[in-house]
Every structure is written in structure tokens, then in C-alpha cells.
Amino acid sequence: AQKVTQAQTEISVVEKEDVTLDCVYETRDTTYYLFWYKQPPSGELVFLIRRNSFDEQNEISGRYSWNFQKSTSSFNFTITASQVVDSAVYFCALSGLQNTPLVFGKGTRLSVIA
């Protein structure tokens, strides 16, 4: 069975601090996909990234970066120089191939304080 664990329930940081959101996953599949989504207070889920299990290169997109470590089954998300607009719930998710459904972690609520 697939499982995603986001051990940090809530994180609070001061604006401009860097923050890392942890994600650990479990799967028996050799090929799988990992995702991160952002859920702002409005409720709608916003896609941030999808990563194939064969691609272990870290990715950077502006202030966002992702560290995929297959050896530790982790896919951590770092926000550099956090801003108040980054305040949201962030979800990590996992899926296998053949359009199997995404399994989500319980989410991490990030509060960035001005």
C-alpha cells in the first residue's frame, strides 16, 4: 500500500526566513510520481510540482526548491525567504502508474508572520 507522511502538522515562521516542509513516502512500486500542492485559505488546491521517481535531480523554481532523496524515500520542499502569501496548507502526494489515484499526506499548515 502507498502512504505519505507529513510529520509537521503546523509550522510558523517569520517573514524572510527559510522553511522546509518534510515529506516521507512508502511504496512498493519501482516507478511512481511525487507531487506537491498548495491550498491557500480560499480552499482550491494549486499544483506546484510533479516528479518522476527516475529523476532525482533537485528542482528550483524561484523561491521554491525540492529535494528528492530516493534512498530515504523523502521529497522535501523548501521555501526560501518566505513571504506572507506563502501561508497555506501544503500537501505532498504519491501515485503509481496506470493512473492510479494520488494518495495525499495530511498536510502541513504554514503560517508566515510579517
Partner 1 sequence: SQTIHQWPATLVQPVGSPLSLECTVEGTSNPNLYWYRQAAGRGLQLLFYSVGIGQISSEVPQNLSASRPQDRQFILSSKKLLLSDSGFYLCAWRDYRDGELFFGEGSRLTVL
- The site for partner 1 (CB under 8 A) is made up of 33, 35, 37, 43-45, 47, 50, 91, 93, 95, 97-99, 101-107
Q: Which is nearer to partner 1, 8 or 15 (CB)?
A: 8
3-state secondary structure the chain: CCEEECCCCEEEEECCCCEEECCEEECCCCCCEEEEEEECCCCCCEEEEEEECCCCCCEEECCEEEEEEHHHCEEEEEECCCCHHHCEEEEEEEECCCCCCCEECCCEEEEEEC
Give the nearest distance from C-beta 81 to partner 1 in angstroms: 26
Q: Which is nearer to partner 1, 15 or 104 (CB)?
A: 104
Q: Which is nearer to partner 1, 15 or 33 (CB)?
A: 33
Q: Which is nearer to partner 1, 30 or 99 (CB)?
A: 99
- With vertex at residue 94, the alpha carbon angle to CA 93 and CA 98, rounded to the nearest 5 degrees, is 135
Give the nearest distance from C-beta 53 to partner 1 in angstroms: 11
Give the nearest distance from C-beta 58 to partner 1 in angstroms: 19
